[in-house]
Amino acid sequence: MKHYTQFAAALALTATGAFADGHATEVPFALDWKFEGPAAPYFAAIDNGHFESAGLSVEITAGSGSLDAIPKVATGAFPIGFADINSLIRFLDQNPDAPVTAVMMVYDKPPFAVIGRASLGVSEPSDLEGKILGAPPPDGAWAQFPIFAAENGLDSDSITVEPVGFPTREPMLAEGNVAAITGFSFSSYLNLVRLGVPEDDITTLLMADYGLDLYGNAIIVNTDFAADNADVVSGFLEAVAMGWKDAIADPAAVMPALIDRNPAADAGLEQRRLQLAIDANVLTDHVMANGMGTIDPARLDAAIEQIKMVYEFQNEPDASLYFTDAYLPEGGFPLN
């Protein structure tokens, strides 16, 4: 990571100078996925002036899966990203000196899901036995599937796993070439609807409803950068929370910010996708009571124990390495 130290030092000097002369600090942000509905709050934070109010100029780059941003942030290609915290835990076990941690939970209830079709015999977890499951190797939901299988007593050897690409995942299920797929609930469900699969034929097995205590995607930072730019990180997180607050208050109002960046998107479908994410993954009972961004330490400990069921840690797990609330306000960000 020595090459990153030089990058962080240069960026820290840039940030300091930016605040000193009144110009906005440029902060590249690595998203987890394409510019779809759940990305709208981040673009709203740009267009509604929340990043600007924090003295930041943010450029958002699309990702290729919920694991994608982790090495980008760890190596210093991006100072801030959005990624699956469970994959981050494993990454840090395998790369214990990597300067990366989570600083704000966004998907308090993870969208990891197995999505099947009732007409292909998939209505509950046990139906997966003897079936073909399509799973993209970099998929965050696929990374958690062994825990889902263990919690539900599935015979994994009886499930034929077909490695598939993200672009072909839903089409293969729509065409009946696989009986189920792994994916994010709000993404795969509406992609199938767009492909003409009847909604009453789609089975969504949200892993959090079937025994998983895991958290989902979080804002992650390079810890070297954050140590030298605490105000930048705190301001970034506040702007993100404001973007989500805007989206929750009026999902339709943030769609233009998304469509400006993805003109080919269907605004109605993406608004529905955003609403699904808000209802199922972001605005949970914990968030309503404790604010956005925070975690329950006991739940994170339970999640680590679940990860141990299917992953052999090389080092003793240390929850303090995986998440810090140092850049959050006490009690998180209120969304109501």
pLDDT (average), residues 271-297: 96
Task: Please give the Cα distance from 305 to 313 (Å, whole number).
Answer: 11
Question: Which domain CATH number covers 274?
Answer: 3.40.190.10
Q: Residue type for 324, please?
A: T
Question: Binning pLDDT at 50, 70 and 90, where does residue 237 land?
Answer: very high
pLDDT digits (tens, 9 = 90+) for 144-198: 999 999 999 999 999 999 999 999 999 999 999 999 999 999 999 999 999 999 9
Q: Residues with Cβ < 8 Å from 12, sequence gap 6 or more?
A: 225, 228, 229
Q: Is the pLDDT of residue 81 over 80?
A: yes
- Same domain membership, residue 248 and residue 291: yes
- Same domain membership, residue 226 and residue 192: no
Taking a C-beta distance cutoff of 8 angstroms, is the pair 295, 323 a contact? yes
User: What are residue 93's phi and psi, to 5 degrees?
Assistant: -65, -40
Q: How many domains does the chain have?
A: 2
pLDDT (average), residues 287-315: 95
Q: Which of 209, 228, 259 is the last residue of a domain?
A: 209
Closest to 67 measured CA to CA, from 104, 112, 131, 8: 112
- Same domain membership, residue 221 and residue 135: no
Q: Is the pLDDT of residue 22 over 70?
A: no
Domain-embedded: residue 330: no
Q: Which of 187, 209, 231 is the last residue of a domain?
A: 209
- Same domain membership, residue 225 and residue 167: no
Domain-embedded: residue 303: yes
- Same domain membership, residue 241 and residue 167: no
- pLDDT at site 20: 44
- Same domain membership, residue 251 and residue 202: no
- pLDDT at site 66: 79
Domain-embedded: residue 58: yes
Q: State the residue range of the domain holding 315.
A: 2-109+214-321
- Same domain membership, residue 92 and residue 219: yes
- Same domain membership, residue 268 and residue 126: no
Q: Residues with Cβ < 8 Å from 277, sequence gap 6 or more?
A: 37, 38, 107, 111, 186
Domain-embedded: residue 81: yes
Q: Residues with Cβ < 8 Å from 209, sequence gap 6 or more?
A: none
CB < 8 Å & 24+ apart, contacts of 197-201: 197/117, 197/173, 200/118, 201/117, 201/118, 201/119
Domain-embedded: residue 73: yes
Domain-embedded: residue 328: no
- Same domain membership, residue 226 and residue 78: yes
Say what the pTM is: 0.89
